[in-house]
Amino acid sequence: MPSALETTNGVDDGEVQHQNGFHKNGLLGHPNGTTKELSYAEIAGEVERYPDSGITVLIVGCGPGGLMSALECWRKGCTVQLIDRAYAPVNTGDVFCLQPSCMSVYRHWPRMSKEIEEEQYDAGISYWHNTGDRIYGPGPPEFNDPEALEGRQGPRVGFMQGRIKFFNMLLRQVKRCGIPVTWGRRVVEYYEDEAAGLGGVVLESGEKLEADVVIAADGIKTNSGKLIAGYTADPKDSGQSIYRAGYSPDFTKEDREVLERWPTKPGDVPEWQFWLGAGLHLSAMVSNDMIVWGLTHKDEYAPDGTESWNASVEPEEVVDLMERVAPGWHPAVSALLKTTPRGSLVHWKLRWRDLLQEWTSPGGRIVQVGDSAHSFLPASGNGATQALEDAISLASCLHVAGRNNVAIATKVHNRLRYERVSCAQKMSFVNTQQHHFTDWSAITENPKLIRTRFPSWVWKHDPEEYAYKKYGEGFLHVITNGKSPLQNTNYPPGHTHKPWTVEEVRMDLLNDVNIGAALDGDWS
C-alpha cells in the first residue's frame, strides 16, 4: 500500500468541503476552517492515495467504466476530470454481472466494498425446462463455489449488481474524492498533439479540453475510432436479439399465479432462473425491489429489434413468440411477462463490432475503455467486468509509467488486455449455444453441465497485480515495435490466440460446430 499522504475520509456527501477533494498530509479540512489530524489507523481504514503523479486525465463518459477509471486514476495520483453528454446522471437500466476479477480492487475502497455487499443481488441460479421441470439448482455461480472462495480479496461478490445502485455508488465516491463531473458536454471530435504531449476533445459548443491522456469511455457509438482506427466501426448483426425489462414488484401484487411461483418477503435471497427452450432462453429474477427478465432469441424469430433502448414493445408479443418457437411454457412464466408495465419493455438487437487490436491513438494520448474498445453480448456475463478491468489496468500502467511515459503506458495497457478481451468475448457464443442447443443426453447424465460458464481464467485474474507484474515486458514490447516478445498469461492456458470475427462464428453455428468444444487450451 502507498503512504497515506492523501486520503478520503468517507464522510457523507456535503458534510465536508475541501478544495479538489484532496486531504494533505493526513489533515482533514472542516467547513469552519479548522483541521483535525487523522491518526494512522483512521487513514488506513479508508482510501489511501498514491502521491501526485503530475498526470492529468480527462474521461469522456460516466458509465461504470468511465467512473471506475476516474476513481482508480485518482487513487494512483492523477488529476482527473469527467464529462458526459447527458445533462444529468442517467438512472436507468436493470442488472449486470460483475466477476471477482474486477471486484478485488474494492479492497482499496472500504466504503464501496461495504455498499456492494449490502446492495448486490446474491442470487442463487437455477435452470428449468420451459415446460416447468427443474434441471439444476439453485446454486451459486461457478466463481462462488466453495473452493473458488479460497484466498479471495475484496467484497463478497453476488451474482448480480443493480445497475442503478452500482452507478450511484460510484458517483457518490467520485463526489467524495472531489473529482469534478460536468454534464451536458457532448464530444464531436477527439484529437492529439504529439509535440505538446496532449490529447484533447472538441465539444459541440466548439470548446476544446486537453489533458495528458484522454480516456474514451463513451460507449459503442464513440467517435474516438476516427482518430484511432481512421473510421468508426459499423455494427454487425450477431444473429441474436433480446427482449428486456426491469420494473417494480408492485406490478405483480394482484397476480396470484406469479405470487405463488415467486413468493418474496423481506430478507429473502432471490433466485435467478434460466428457462430453456429450443432456440431461445429466458432469464428472470423476482426480488423484493426489482423484477428483471430477458428473452434472448435468434433474429429470424423476430427481426424487428433495434440498437436502441426505445421502449415500444408489448409483453404479449414476447409471449406469442415464445409459444410459437418452443411451445408449452409454464403458465407462471407467461403470467410474469404479462405483468410488465407498458413502456418498460425494449427489444434490443444484439449487434457486434469486431474487436480491433488498437485501442489507442497513434501518439498514445487517447485510449478507449469498455464498450468504446470492445462490445460484449449479455450471455458472456463479462461486458461490465472487462470495462472495470480496463479501468484498473490502465490506471496501474499510468502509475508505473509516470508523466514522461504516458503515451507508452496506454499502449502497454492495450497490449496486456487485447488477447484476454478477445477470449472473454467468445464466451457469449459458448453460453448462448449451451442454452439454446443443449445436449440433453449429457445434461441428463450430469445436470451440473447446464451451468452458465464462468471460467476460472476470468475470475481468478487480478488486473492491478497483472499490470504491475507485466508492465516491464510490455514496455519493451512497445518501444521495440514488437521485436521484444510479450507473452500474456491472462487468457486460457494452452490457447493459441488468433483474431476472429463474428462472421466466422456465425458460419460455425450454421454448420453445427460446438464452439466450446472447438476451443484449444483450458477454458474451464
Give the model confidence (pLDDT) of 90-122 as tens digits. Answer: 998 899 999 999 999 999 999 999 999 999 999
Nearest one of 43, 97, 6, 128 to 453, comparing CA atoms: 97
Q: What is the pLDDT of residue 299?
A: 86
Overall average pLDDT of the 234-258 stretch: 91
- Whether residue 54 is predicted with pLDDT greater than 90 in this model: the reply is yes
Query: Whats the size of the chain, residue-wise?
Result: 524
Q: What is the pLDDT of residue 75?
A: 97
The boundaries of every CATH 3.30.9.30 domain in the chain are 236-350
- Compute the radius of gyration of the chain from its Cα atoms: 23
Q: How confident is the model at residue 379 (pLDDT cuts 50, 70, 90)?
A: confident
CA atoms lying within 13 Å on the CB side of residue 291: 22
* Residue for grid cell 417494480: 248
Q: What is the pLDDT of residue 436?
A: 84
Nearest one of 437, 453, 436, 451 to 138, comparing CA atoms: 451
Nearest one of 46, 44, 3 to 25, comparing CA atoms: 3
- Whether residue 474 is predicted with pLDDT greater than 90 in this model: the reply is yes
Give dist(CA 447, CA 69) in Å, integer.
40
Residue 152 carries which side chain, given as an amino acid letter? R
Give dist(CA 493, CA 445) in Å, integer.
28
Tell me the per-residue pLDDT of 269-307, one tens digit each, with 9 for 90 and over: 899 999 999 999 999 999 999 999 999 998 888 877 666
CA atoms lying within 13 Å on the CB side of residue 364: 22
φ, ψ of residue 123 to 5 degrees: the values are -80, 145
Contacts for 385 with CB less than 8 Å, ≥ 6 apart: 97, 98, 99, 101, 102, 424, 458
Higher pLDDT, 125 or 26: 125
What is the greatest pairwise CA distance in the chain? 72
Instruction: Quote the percentage of the chain above a pLDDT of 90.
Output: 75
- Whether residue 189 is predicted with pLDDT greater than 60 in this model: the reply is yes
Give dist(CA 186, CA 341) in Å, integer.
32
Q: What is the pLDDT of residue 305?
A: 67
Q: What is the pLDDT of residue 42?
A: 38
Q: What is the pLDDT of residue 417?
A: 98
Contacts for 378 with CB less than 8 Å, ≥ 6 apart: 242, 294, 296, 350, 428
* Residue for grid cell 464501496: 112
- Whether residue 26 is predicted with pLDDT greater than 60 in this model: the reply is no
The boundaries of every CATH 3.50.50.60 domain in the chain are 50-121+143-234+353-524
Give dist(CA 495, CA 487) in Å, integer.
12
Overall average pLDDT of the 301-323 stretch: 81
Give dist(CA 251, CA 233) in Å, integer.
40
Give dist(CA 292, CA 247) in Å, integer.
7
Bridge partners (DSSP) listed for residue 241: 297, 349
**Three-state SS across 322-334?**
HHHHCCCCCHHHH
Give dist(CA 13, CA 35) in Å, integer.
18
Work out the mean pLDDT of the chain and round it to a whole number.
89
Residue 10 carries which side chain, given as an amino acid letter? G
Overall average pLDDT of the 460-465 stretch: 98
CA atoms lying within 13 Å on the CB side of residue 259: 8
Q: Which residues are known catalytic residues?
A: 244
Q: Find the range with the poorest average confidence among 77-86, 114-123, 378-387, 478-487.
A: 378-387
Overall average pLDDT of the 407-433 stretch: 95
Overall average pLDDT of the 343-347 stretch: 90
Q: How confident is the model at residue 308 (pLDDT cuts 50, 70, 90)?
A: low
| 26 within 8 A of 37, measured Cβ to Cβ | yes
Q: How confident is the model at residue 202 (pLDDT cuts 50, 70, 90)?
A: very high
Class of domain 236-350: alpha beta
Overall average pLDDT of the 158-170 stretch: 97
- Whether residue 128 is predicted with pLDDT greater than 50 in this model: the reply is yes
- Whether residue 9 is predicted with pLDDT greater than 70 in this model: the reply is no
- Whether residue 325 is predicted with pLDDT greater than 80 in this model: the reply is yes
Q: What is the pLDDT of residue 510?
A: 81
Residue 289 carries which side chain, given as an amino acid letter? D
**DSSP element (H, E) containing 84:** strand 79-84
- Whether residue 405 is predicted with pLDDT greater than 80 in this model: the reply is yes
- Whether residue 124 is predicted with pLDDT greater than 70 in this model: the reply is yes
C-beta atoms surrounding 134 within 10 Å? 12
Cell triple for 247: 420494473
- Whether residue 327 is predicted with pLDDT greater than 50 in this model: the reply is yes
Q: How confident is the model at residue 333 (pLDDT cuts 50, 70, 90)?
A: very high
CATH of domain 50-121+143-234+353-524: 3.50.50.60
Give dist(CA 294, CA 309) in Å, integer.
14
Q: What is the pLDDT of residue 447?
A: 94
Tell me the per-residue pLDDT of 215-236, one tens digit each, with 9 for 90 and over: 999 999 899 999 999 988 788 8
- Whether residue 33 is predicted with pLDDT greater than 50 in this model: the reply is no
Nearest one of 50, 6, 49, 54 to 405, comparing CA atoms: 54
Higher pLDDT, 365 or 313: 365
Helix then strand then coil, % of the chain, to nearest 5: 35, 20, 40
Preceding omega of 138 cis (within 30 degrees of 0) = yes
* Residue for grid cell 452507478: 167
Q: How confident is the model at residue 309 (pLDDT cuts 50, 70, 90)?
A: low
Q: Name the pTM for this structure.
A: 0.91
Q: What is the pLDDT of residue 78?
A: 98
- Whether residue 4 is predicted with pLDDT greater than 80 in this model: the reply is no
Choose the most confident range, by mean pLDDT, from 1-10, 16-25, 249-258, 475-484.
475-484
